[in-house]
């Protein structure tokens, strides 16, 4: 199974982003635009994972979630990978508790490794973003990045993480396999130290 762990985007935040992106989709039909149903904030891409490892993931992800308080986030601005003049991916950025989000992503990745998922490639630093479009061939999207530079969405609190299965077809199809709440623990809680 092709799996990843993510935070869901609430309907209000998705609506704001959709309003900002809708006119751009029509002006740039050569890009493969993602839709609201595919919008999420990936914490860890796990890749192809066998059934026996998938069964172990639930407990590890539950523990990772229990170690972290909910995070307040918002969508803002835009950018491109690897760069705007030769883009493969157009994205909107994440503002708010990026430190808390990075800590959560690190815990999720560590839990996945303990469950038996191979580690991510070396040197890949976690960069939170939400993918807006993909390019079949490198494209110059500097105009799009500049157009979305002033976008600033309303803040929301992410309180759950999800294990999601991705089925690749013309458009990816997603199936949620599990969800775990983020829990605020008081500093010094013995359960936090024993993890």
> Can you list the pairs that 35-38 forms with residues at least 24 positions away whose Cβ atoms lie under 8 Å?
35/171, 37/174, 38/131, 38/171, 38/172, 38/174
| Average pLDDT value for the chain | 91
CB 18 within 8 A of CB 36: yes
Which residues on adjacent β-strands are paired with residue 174? 166
Supply the pLDDT for residue 186.
43
Residue-range domain boundaries for the chain: 2-118+127-184
39: exposed, middle or buried (Cβ count in 10 Å: 0-12, 13-18, 19+): buried
How many Å apart are CA 173 and CA 191, to the nearest integer? 37
pLDDT (mean) for 3-9:
96
Whether the per-residue pLDDT at 46 is higher than 60: the answer is: yes
> Where are the strands (E) in 14-172, listed by range?
32-33, 40-48, 71-81, 87-96, 129-139, 156-158, 160-167
CATH topology of domain 2-118+127-184: Cyclic Phosphodiesterase; Chain: A, (3.90.1140)
pLDDT band at 141 (very low <50, low <70, confident <90, very high): very high
Structure pTM? 0.88
Strand 71-81 relative to strand 160-167, pairing: unpaired
Q: What is the pLDDT of residue 122?
A: 62
Name which of 54-68, 85-99, 144-158, 159-173 the model is least confident about: 159-173
């Amino acid at each position: 199974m092709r799996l990843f762990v993510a935070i869901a985007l609430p309907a209000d935040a998705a609506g704001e982003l959709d309003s900002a992106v809708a006119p751009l989709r029509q002006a740039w039909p050569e890009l493969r635009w993602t839709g609201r149903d595919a919008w999420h904030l990936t914490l860890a891409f796990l890749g192809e994972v066998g059934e026996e490892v998938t069964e172990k993931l639930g407990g590890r992800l539950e523990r990772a979630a229990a170690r972290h308080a909910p995070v307040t986030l918002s969508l803002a601005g835009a950018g491109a990978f690897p760069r705007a003049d030769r883009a493969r991916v157009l994205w909107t950025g994440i503002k708010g508790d990026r430190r808390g989000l990075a800590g959560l992503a690190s815990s999720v990745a560590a839990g996945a490794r303990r469950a038996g998922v191979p580690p991510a490639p070396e040197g890949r630093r976690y960069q939170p973003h939400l993918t807006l479009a993909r390019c079949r061939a490198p494209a110059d999207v500097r105009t799009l990045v500049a157009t979305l530079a002033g976008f600033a969405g309303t803040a929301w609190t992410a309180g759950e993480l999800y294990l999601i299965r991705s089925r690749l077809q013309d458009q990816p199809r997603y199936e949620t396999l599990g969800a775990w709440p983020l829990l605020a623990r008081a500093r010094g809680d013995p359960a936090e130290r024993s993890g």
